[in-house]
Amino acid sequence: MTRKAAIIGGGVIGGGWAARFLLNGWNVSVFDPDPEAERKIGEVMANARAALPALSDVPMPAEGRLSFAGTITEAVEGAEYIQESVSERLELKHRVFAQIQQASHGVPIGSSTSGFKPSELQQNAADPSTIFVAHPFNPVYLLPLAEIVPSVKSDTKLIENAKEILREIGMFPLHVRKEIDAHIADRFLEAVWREALWLVKDGVATTEEIDEAIRMGFGLRWGQMGLFETYRVAGGEAGMKHFMAQFGPCLQWPWTKLTDVPEFTDELVDLIAGQSDEQSGKYTIRELERIRDSNLIGFLRALKDRNWGAGKVLLDHDKRRRASFHETDETGQGAPMVMAHMQVLPGWIDYNGHMTESRYLFAASETSDAFLRLIGADMDYVAGGHSYYTAETHIMHLGEAKLGDRLTGTIQILGSDEKRIHAFIRIQRGDEVVASLEQMFLHVDMKAGRASPAAPEVLTKLAPIAKAHETLPRPDAAGRHVGQRKS
């Protein structure tokens, strides 16, 4: 049975929440009185569909069903999780919570608020124990962090259940142990923002120069090591104590203006807006979002390859969904098995503007690796000294994949025995096959350096799939040699 989430407020953040749940297989009902809500969420969904699958190495679940409710009551009916993302006005949030709790009882209600404490949100609520802060970061469908802030009135079990739901959709719930204005992350952002306003106002730097200082320097370090770990490294072999001893006295120097706020005048607003227009005005907001998403995918994929930082969250999410995929006992009865969803990224493009040859092999590898994991020949299996090696590959380029194209990798087992798997892989864009690869995999005992029978537990998982695929039509390209004319 498909689970349901309710999203109250369909702006940029609410739309991001909707996309995150939908692309992880949940049905989503949105309530937002804005007549433009459907269009806005549709645009967010288009970006999310192009971005989030590019982070996954496991087949994405079938997308959930999106609906727009006419009332809050209709939206929350039957929901297992509710996320409030309305404007940052406390009285408005109180009215929304009251309406939600008239129709929903005992269901987690997370608030996207960036500033209010949970105790403030819970004031005069019928059931304060279900209301808590679940503060995400834009774009919600890509960035995993959600600050989870309960109060003393929160239901501990409900909070733990909510955190597990967020993990299930690929997020990292950071449990904030004490409620505080602006939580954790936004307090850092406020400090940096305040300094930046002074630097612009005093003519020290432009908006572009400040952004360059961040993205060319410490922003890259923060993205994978955070603050304290970065400074630990800066301390050298002597570590954090040395860093603190060396740089701690700087805290007494009049470097910053953190306790002083520049007067927020029309002149300051015009100065910053004008510089920002000059810096980024050549792009539309939608273009900037797509540029941002593409860059984030590259950063996050690099972290994922290294099992570091946010990449650990992505790997854990793949592991969770892979386990769920195993439990379905899929064998591909009636059709080749869908094993991988990918997107053609900027680094995949050659000088002709098309997907380069090596990436077709990469796409096939993603597909076959997912299949091998499915039958139990995963990294733990490899660590034990056994693996399937690719012995032969015949590839046919049948179409052209271009930047941004969504690709699907399917596998059909043509034959197998205790040492070999004969497979046919199709790389598809929608229903169009852009490449096919016929491959022979040989099971190897890596310590002995020779072919060997696969483990019984692997063969037990492989056998029903191979049996089911015996009834599938044999691909016309199977058995072809290079240069063979089409009949």
Same domain for 164 and 190, yes or no, is no
- For residues 93 and 157, membership in a common domain is answered with yes
pLDDT confidence band for 361 (50 / 70 / 90): very high
> What was the pLDDT predicted at 327?
42
**Residue 390: which CATH number?**
3.10.129.10
Residue 309 burial class via C-beta count within 10 angstroms: exposed 0-12, middle 13-18, buried 19 and up: buried
CATH number at residue 242: 1.10.1040.10
- Residue 454, domain extent: 332-469
Neighbours of 278 (CB within 10 A): 12
User: Rounded to whole angstroms, how far apart are CA atoms 389 and 360?
Assistant: 18
**Closest by CA position to 135, among listed 166, 156, 157:** 166
Domain finish residue from 107, 140, 175: 175
Specify if 167 maps to a domain: yes
Asked if residue 476 is part of any domain, the answer here is no
Report pLDDT for 473. Answer: 95
Mean of per-residue pLDDT scores for the chain: 91
Residue 180 lies in a domain: no
Domain finish residue from 156, 175, 194: 175
251 domain-assigned: yes
pLDDT bracket for residue 255 (50, 70, 90): low
- Total domains in the chain come to 3
Q: How far, in Å, CA of 374 to CA of 369, rounded?
A: 9
- Asked if residue 434 lies in contact with residue 407, where contact means CB atoms within 8 angstroms, the answer is yes
For residues 90 and 217, state if they share a domain: no
Stronger pLDDT, 400 or 234, i.e. the higher one: 400
**Pair (135, 31) in one structural domain:** yes
Q: For 369-405, write each residue's pLDDT tens digit.
A: 999 999 999 989 999 999 999 999 999 999 999 987 8
Segment 139-153, tens digit of pLDDT: 999 999 999 999 999
Do both 129 and 61 map to the same domain? yes
In a shared domain, residues 114 and 196: no
Token digits of residue 151: 């109060």
pLDDT digit string, tens, across residues 50-68: 889 888 877 778 899 999 9
246 and 169, same domain (yes or no): no
- In terms of domains, do 158 and 9 share one? yes
* Domain presence at residue 304: no
Residues 31 and 146 in one domain: yes
Residue 482 lies in a domain: no
The per-residue pLDDT for range 420-468, each reduced to its tens digit, is 999 999 999 999 999 999 999 999 999 999 999 999 999 999 999 999 9
In a domain, 301, yes or no: no
C-alpha dihedral sign at 390, 392, 398, 399:
positive
- First and final C-alpha spacing in the chain: 47
Each residue's pLDDT tens digit, 261-288: 788 789 988 998 899 889 888 888 888 8
194 lies in the same domain as 104: no
The CATH number of whichever domain residue 115 belongs to comes to 3.40.50.720
361 in the same domain as 247 = no
Looking at the fold, whether 47 and 171 belong to one and the same domain comes out as yes
Q: Is residue 483 part of a domain?
A: no
Choice between 411 and 245, residue whose per-residue pLDDT is larger: 411
